[in-house]
Amino acid sequence: MNKLTHLNEKGEANIVDISTKKPTKRSATAEGKVSVSEATLNLIISNNVKKGDVLSIARIAGIISAKKTPELIPLCHNLNLEFIKIEFEIDKKNKCIKVLSECQTTHKTGVEMEAMISCSISCLTIYDMVKSVDKNAYINDIKLISKSGGKSGNYQRK
């Protein structure tokens, strides 16, 4: 069995020592969905939600949260994020908003958690913006869909 990387020889939680690793370009993309009613989706599309521009606020929340990942996930390293992109795809047929978050850096460790956090917080922000008009709104399918760079190489969800 492989040694757990975040535990020391005493079994105590520690941040991984990356001091000897070489920086490489790294990227990760995560996605999630916020399902809403047809009426709520129309409010979002027409920018008529009383709290404001749902998608713009969710984008900003996602960007801010990506930069705060090590404050939220205890054993994540501080990274200098070089690029954060939050995109939204409106799916009228399935009455949902797909959130895509991509994060990039040139560093010694990956950005998967930054992409996952920013996707999650973007979804939560959409939910918060519409919860007063749609009690049945829900978040689902948050997952890593791709990553590149680093020792473990590339990953693409099938």
Residues annotated catalytic, as ranges: 128
Q: Tell me the pairing of strands 138-148 and 96-107.
A: unpaired
Q: Is 72 annotated as a binding residue?
A: no
Residue 113, annotated ligand binder? yes
Separation CA 45–CA 89 (nearest Å): 11
Question: Is position 129 annotated in a ligand binding site?
Answer: no
| Two structure tokens written together for 84 | 């954060």
Tokens 């990760």 -> residue: 28
Rg of the chain over Cα atoms, rounded to whole angstroms, equals: 18
**Is 38 marked as a binding-site residue?**
no
Residue 105's beta-bridge partner residues? 26
Rounded Cα distance, 154 and 148, in Å: 4
User: Is 75 part of any known ligand binding site?
Assistant: yes
Helix 112-130, helix 38-45: angle, nearest 10: 100
Residue ranges of the binding site for substrate: 75-77, 113-114
Residues marked as binding? 75-77, 113-114
